[in-house]
Amino acid sequence: MIKCPNCGFSLNGDEAKCPNCGYVLKKEETDSGEVMNQTPPPPSVPQTPPESTPSYSKMAIPFADSSLPFFDRLVSTVKLVLFSPREFFANYDFKAQIGAGILFALIMGFVSGIFSFIYNLVFRSSLYSMLAQWGNIPAKEMQMQSMFAVFGGVLGIFLIPIGVIIGLFIMAGIYHLLLMIVNGAKNGFESTVNVVAYTSAVMLFAIVPFCGGLLGWIYRIILNIMGLAEVHETTTGKATFAVLLPYIFCCLCFVIYIVAILGVVGMAAAGGGH
């Protein structure tokens, strides 16, 4: 509404002249008249922007990238695990499907098994040759022992897939359960499986005779702790608890077993003395 500029009468704004005083309204006066009694628009309510879901932008693990040549994928992943583990666990996607990780672990298991078989065969052959020269083992028995060693090694190579898969899931299951107990499992079970699967790259340490297996075992413990902490976004302490507790438990069981055996032997010796 507007006011008549002559008498101040309230107008609707569409009259040509004021019905109160007869003043003829000009167009510019109608357009620029004082606005009255207009209901102010409701205050605008600030819109709260929807919470943005953080994008999961980690890179695909090289071995899981089917666009790359197979050998390049394998070598790149092994290099990352062994020589740049922190970068590997922090920047790559471990939430992906576990198929590629299981295949990677199977390959590492086969390579490790073949080298272990070769070294075991060479060691046994050298040992049997030495014993034969000393005259402690007959020739036929030495041949039989060699045949059994070869047969056992070949059978072991064929059983590698079963052993790798069973060991992989048992280890990952124990780690994930222990992480859940301490509220450290921020991601799913597949992430734990992938961590354990890709740390199997340390099986290549079996190429180094004698001490390679021990070095690989120690390094894998370190990699598993590092990997679980990064992938599950938890503390190093919780990851260390999950990885080391099974070994501590096994050591305690072994100590209890040895103490029990010694106790039985001691009791038998004491009874025999009487």
pLDDT, average across residues 153-177: 92
Give the sign of the dihedral formed by CA 240, CA 243, CA 246, CA 247: negative
Domain spans of the chain?
1-37, 63-269
- Measured between alpha carbons, how far is 199 from 222 in angstroms, rounded to an integer? 10
- Position 37 scores a pLDDT of 43
- Position 46 scores a pLDDT of 58
Q: What are phi and psi of 241, to 5 degrees?
A: -60, -45
- Per residue in 210-224, pLDDT (tens digit) is 889 899 999 999 999
Q: Where are the beta strands (DSSP E) in the chain?
A: 2-3, 10-11
- Per residue in 94-153, pLDDT (tens digit) is 998 899 999 999 999 999 999 988 888 788 777 767 766 666 666 666 677 777 777 877
Which pTM does this prediction carry? 0.72
Q: Please, what is the average pLDDT of the chain? A: 84
DSSP code for 172? H
- How is residue 59 written in tokens? 């890179």
- Position 43 scores a pLDDT of 60
- Position 88 scores a pLDDT of 96
- Per residue in 41-94, pLDDT (tens digit) is 566 555 655 555 444 578 999 999 989 999 999 999 999 999 999 999 999 999
Which neighbouring-strand residues pair with 59?
92
- Position 109 scores a pLDDT of 95
- How is residue 227 written in tokens? 């990997």
Based on the number of CB atoms within 10 Å of its own CB, is 192 exposed (0-12), middle (13-18) or buried (19 or more)? buried
Contact predicate 204/78, CB 8 Å? yes
- Position 17 scores a pLDDT of 73
- Position 35 scores a pLDDT of 42
SS3 category, 185: coil
Counting residues of the chain whose pLDDT is more than 90, the rounded percentage is: 53
Counting residues of the chain whose pLDDT is more than 70, the rounded percentage is: 76
Nearest to 179 by CA among 90, 101, 85, 244: 244
Please report, as a single letter, which amino acid is at residue 178: L
Q: How many CA atoms lie within 13 A of 72 on its CB side?
A: 5
Chain mean position to CA 270: 54
Span of 119-133, 166-180, 243-257 with lowest mean pLDDT:
119-133
pLDDT, average across residues 171-176: 98
> Which of 111-125, 150-164, 232-246, 259-273 is the most confident on average?
232-246
Indicate left, alpha or beta for 266 from its phi (over 0: left) and psi (-120 to 50: alpha): alpha
